């Protein structure tokens, strides 16, 4: 079940966002229940002088990989500046590139996203890029050298689940780097579906933090990701329009 992104080796395929929790105790218990290896957070929403204390109160950070993101950026320049600030603050050199182009849907700006990713790759960052479910854009990010591509299932925080499984499957089929489904998942069924389509992992925040019971939802998402991955690796039976008997018919004695 190990996932490799750049030089990072992860035991869990579930990444978890911080923030949006009612309090730090709920966040801590949800993180522990999720069994995640990766915690992501918005650099621009915290004081970099006390980043760890602000975002991860009560958590033993030696157990996690940190994934700062550039949420709030609307240009490549802003995203690059945010990433460099995170690195200079000693957080890490792994970054989730997020450059929003539409304030209503929070979908990324493809041109600025490509520019930011290219510049950060050239500067030695481990780059995971948030993108739409555009098959061509996902391929271009991969060809550029991004260490992971993170297509949205649906708009951020919407809970709509995977609205375009056709595109997501094409993104997975062409991929030579990990595909992490990011944004829009709402339930364990959504997470399982993403993994069954062949995604290498999922990143969640609102689906856990805004659930009625975030701790139970975090555990449910952990199990959903594991089940979906196992199901994908096992290979499901093909769908058919006719029935197939579960028991063999050969050698069955006729009834009188």
Binding residues for 1-deoxy-D-xylulose 5-phosphate are 157, 183-184, 205-206
Percent helix, strand, coil in the chain, to 5, is 40, 20, 40
What Å distances lie between residue 86 and 51, 125, 225, CA to CA?
9, 11, 29
Q: What is the rounded distance in angstroms from the CA atom of residue 231 to the CA atom of residue 71?
A: 33
- Structure-token pair, residue 102: 């539409």
* Residue 96 appears among annotated catalytic residues: yes
Q: Any idea what DSSP says for residue 9?
A: E
How would you label 74-87 residue by residue, b for 16+ Cβ within 10 Å and e otherwise? ebbebbbbbbbebb
Choice among 4, 96, 140, 216 that is catalytic: 96
Q: What is the rounded distance in angstroms from the CA atom of residue 191 to the CA atom of residue 155?
A: 15
Residues annotated as catalytic (active site), given as ranges: 96
């Amino acid at each position: 079940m190990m996932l490799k992104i750049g030089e990072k080796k992860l035991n869990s395929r579930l990444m978890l966002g911080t923030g949006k929790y009612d309090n730090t105790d709920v966040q801590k218990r949800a993180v522990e229940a999720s069994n995640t290896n990766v915690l992501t957070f918005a650099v621009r929403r915290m004081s970099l002088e006390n980043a760890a204390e602000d975002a991860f109160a009560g958590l033993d950070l030696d157990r996690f990989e940190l994934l700062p993101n550039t949420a709030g950026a609307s240009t490549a320049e802003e995203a690059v500046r945010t990433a460099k600030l995170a690195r200079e603050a000693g957080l890490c050199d792994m970054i989730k590139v997020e450059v929003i182009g539409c304030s209503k849907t929070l979908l990324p700006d493809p041109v600025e996203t490509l520019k930011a990713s290219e510049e950060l790759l050239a500067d030695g960052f481990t780059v995971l890029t948030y993108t739409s479910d555009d098959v061509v854009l996902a391929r271009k990010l991969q060809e550029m050298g991004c260490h992971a591509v993170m297509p949205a299932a649906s708009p951020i925080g919407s809970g709509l689940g995977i609205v375009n499984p056709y595109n997501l499957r094409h993104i997975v089929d062409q991929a030579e780097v990990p595909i992490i489904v990011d944004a829009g998942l709402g339930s364990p069924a959504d997470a399982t579906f993403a993994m069954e389509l062949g995604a290498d992992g999922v990143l969640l925040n609102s689906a856990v933090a805004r659930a009625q019971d975030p701790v139970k939802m975090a555990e449910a998402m952990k199990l959903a990701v594991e089940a979906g991955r196992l199901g994908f690796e096992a290979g499901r039976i093909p769908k058919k329009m006719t029935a197939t008997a579960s028991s063999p018919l050969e050698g069955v004695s006729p009834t009188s």
